[in-house]
Amino acid sequence: MSFAYITEEGAYIKKRGGVFVVGRNQEVVMEIPEETLEGLTLIDGVQVSSRAIVELLQLGIPVTWLSSRGAFFGRLESTQHVHVFRQAKQIELRESPFYLAMGKRCIAAKTHNQLTLLRRLNRSAESAEVARSIKEILSLWKHIFQAASAEELMGYEGVIARSYFHALGTAVPEAFRFERRSRRPPLDPFNSMLSFGYTLLMYDVYTSLTNEGLHPYFGFLHALKNHHPALASDLMEEWRAVLVDSMVLSLVNHHEIRTDHFVRAEDGTPGIFLTREGRGIFLRAYEKKMRTVNQYIEGKHSYRRSLGYQAAQYAQALMAENAEMYEPIRLR
């Protein structure tokens, strides 16, 4: 099974027999058997034939459109998985103790994973700056479990995140160092990769949630907001360091991504973005990561399958109104 990323300007997708044909300039670039395709991500000007759209909907294969800068345009997805009783429960439990308990579990796991990544980094770096951030995060960690509201919990999460990214920015190779997390737009190469990776992860989690019949926009932690899939944001928190941060670190430490793989916005607005070549390298690394087999969940599964398992686990916890039924991912 595979996810496909189509990034070539002017590419097209059509259906022929049992395969999806990807072409450009009247030449076939690849053919993807329908039984192996799990999802499509299209970047910028990719055309999809009406027959292909109908087949994608019938097969339940989601399609996500992104800009070359990683901005989300929209999705094509079937409604066959919608579970109205689960979605009703999502609304019913707003501002409930269950939601706050879920938030604490996920933010505690996210913090654990950030600490684990910083400790791994500092085995070789032996940075006093990183050591200080680890100490600061540990002192804040206990407050997560004492938070009386989602707003208070997110306040602690924000302080922890600032300390984490400050430490991370000092520990990367000099050409990729940064002072703080920047987004919309990202202002340096490392932040550019983090933002792009988080967008890809967001919509992998989104797909897992819709497959379980859940509504991605009704979360338990992030505030309700138009155009923001709060539940996808909530459940991706524990995965950020595990999947994206570690992958970006690997790309720069192994010199797979260079500073010449980034450009400034052509229209003169602020922002640093991946070039087409850099984007291709990044997407291949991301897909390789998502296919990597892990044992964080019982048995051996790809990370993408693990996302699906976590979404199913959340659905069960939601219906039982029991946060202890949800076990977040924790790096070992």
pLDDT tens for each residue of 119-176: 998 887 778 889 999 999 999 998 999 999 999 999 999 999 999 999 999 989 999 9
Q: Are residues 39 and 151 in the same domain?
A: no
Q: Are residues 159 and 267 in the same domain?
A: yes
pLDDT in the model for residue 313 = 96
Give me the CATH number covering residue 43: 3.100.10.20
pLDDT in the model for residue 70 = 79
Closest CA to 301 of 329, 279, 324, 282: 329
pLDDT in the model for residue 231 = 97
pLDDT in the model for residue 168 = 93
Q: First and final CA of the chain: distance in angstroms?
A: 28
Q: Are residues 212 and 233 in the same domain?
A: yes
Element (H, E) at 193: helix 189-211
Q: Residue 332: inside a domain, yes or no? A: no
Q: Are residues 40 and 178 in the same domain?
A: no
pTM summary value: 0.91
**Three-state secondary structure along 48-109?**
ECHHHHHHHHHHCCCEEEECCCCCEEEEECCCCCCCHHHHHHHHHCCCCHHHHHHHHHHHHH
Phi and psi dihedrals of 148, rounded to 5? Answer: -95, -5
Mean per-residue pLDDT, 3-16: 88
Q: Are residues 72 and 152 in the same domain?
A: no
d(CA 72, CA 41): 10
Q: Are residues 54 and 100 in the same domain?
A: no
Mean per-residue pLDDT, 195-201: 95
pLDDT in the model for residue 14 = 92
What does the block give as tokens for 88?
A: 């009703």
Q: With cut-offs at 50, 70 and 90, classify the pLDDT of residue 286.
A: very high
What does the block give as tokens for 259?
A: 């500073």
Using DSSP, state whether 30 is helix, strand or coil: strand
What are the residue ranges of helices labelled H in 254-302? Answer: 276-291
Using DSSP, state whether 24 is helix, strand or coil: strand
CA–CA distances in Å: residue 266 to residues 9, 65, 175, 177: 17, 21, 22, 23
pLDDT in the model for residue 266 = 76
Phi and psi dihedrals of 4, rounded to 5? Answer: -115, 140
In the predicted model, is pLDDT for residue 111 greater than 80? yes
Domain boundary among 50, 76, 102: 76
What residues have CB less than 8 Å from 266, skipping those under 6 apart? none
Domain boundary among 36, 51, 76: 76
Closest CA to 245 of 108, 120, 144: 120
What does the block give as tokens for 142?
A: 């206990």
| Most confident option among 78-87, 123-132, 313-322 | 313-322
Burial of 158 (0-12, 13-18, 19+ CB in 10 A): exposed
Q: Which residue has the higher pLDDT, 149 or 297?
A: 149
Mean per-residue pLDDT, 210-216: 95
Q: Which residue has the higher pLDDT, 303 or 124?
A: 303
| DSSP letter assigned to residue 322 | -
Domain boundary among 47, 76, 105: 76
pLDDT in the model for residue 95 = 87
Q: Residue 160: inside a domain, yes or no? A: yes
In the predicted model, is pLDDT for residue 7 greater than 90? no
Q: What is the percent of the chain where pLDDT is above 70?
A: 100
Q: Are residues 179 and 49 in the same domain?
A: no
pLDDT in the model for residue 122 = 87
AA letter at 97: P
d(CA 293, CA 289): 9
* Mean of per-residue pLDDT scores for the chain: 92
In the predicted model, is pLDDT for residue 91 greater than 70? yes
AA letter at 231: L
In the predicted model, is pLDDT for residue 20 greater than 70? yes
d(CA 200, CA 286): 8
pLDDT in the model for residue 1 = 62
**Three-state secondary structure along 100-120?**
HHHHHHHHHHHHHHHHHHHHH
Q: Are residues 134 and 279 in the same domain?
A: yes
Q: CA angle, 281 as apex, 252 and 130 as ends, to 5°?
A: 20
Q: With cut-offs at 50, 70 and 90, classify the pLDDT of residue 26.
A: confident
Phi and psi dihedrals of 181, rounded to 5? Answer: -70, 125
Look up the domain containing 298 and give its range.
84-325
Q: Are residues 19 and 108 in the same domain?
A: no
**Total domains, the chain:** 2
pLDDT in tens, 222-233: 988 888 999 999
Q: Are residues 15 and 120 in the same domain?
A: no
Contact 238, 110 (CB under 8 A): yes
